[in-house]
């Protein structure tokens, strides 16, 4: 089955800095790669996703890049703010199938200091 590795497990940055979280996956058939943000006491929420037919996607201060050859994808957050502090999860799946399962990385705790 799919295996997703995520690094780092914790990341501390100063407000205004950029943050990068990296993930690798094992199943070359995976074609859907979402990123979820989990705030304290809440459920994970999708912040951005990318499919294997594109290499990069941006949404304001957040961007995701995908390298299918190397089987890795990354989340980039620019101009970080204290409210970006949360646990971030990457995931991978075969997105076209209704029966497909998301396999999650182990999460990265991002702390943005004012």
Instruction: Tell me which residues touch other proteins (CB under 8 A).
Output: 32, 34, 36, 38, 41-46, 49, 87, 89, 95-99, 101-104, 106-107, 109
Identify which of residues 96 and 114 has a Cβ nearer to other proteins in the complex. Answer: 96
What is the nearest approach in angstroms of other proteins to the Cβ of residue 16?
26
Query: Residue 9 or 16: which CB sits closer to other proteins?
Result: 9
Shortest distance in whole angstroms from residue 84 CB to other proteins? 17
Task: Classify burial at 89, counting beta carbons within 10 Å of its beta carbon; exposed 0-12, middle 13-18, buried 19 or more.
Answer: buried
Phi, psi of 112 (to 5 degrees): -105, 115
**Nearest distance in Å: CB 17, other proteins:** 23
Measure Cα distances from 80 to 5, 8, 66, 87 in Å.
23, 17, 21, 14
């Amino acid at each position: 089955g799919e295996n997703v590795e995520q690094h780092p497990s914790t990341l501390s940055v100063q407000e205004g800095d950029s943050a990068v979280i990296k993930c690798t996956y094992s199943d070359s058939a995976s074609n859907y790669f979402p990123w979820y943000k989990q705030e304290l006491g809440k459920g994970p929420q999708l912040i951005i996703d990318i499919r294997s037919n594109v290499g990069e996607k941006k949404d304001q201060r957040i961007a995701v890049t995908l390298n299918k050859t190397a089987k890795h994808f990354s989340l980039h957050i620019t101009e970080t703010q204290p409210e970006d502090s949360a646990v971030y999860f990457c995931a991978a799946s075969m997105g076209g199938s209704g029966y497909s399962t998301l396999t999650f990385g182990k999460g990265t705790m991002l702390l943005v200091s004012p």
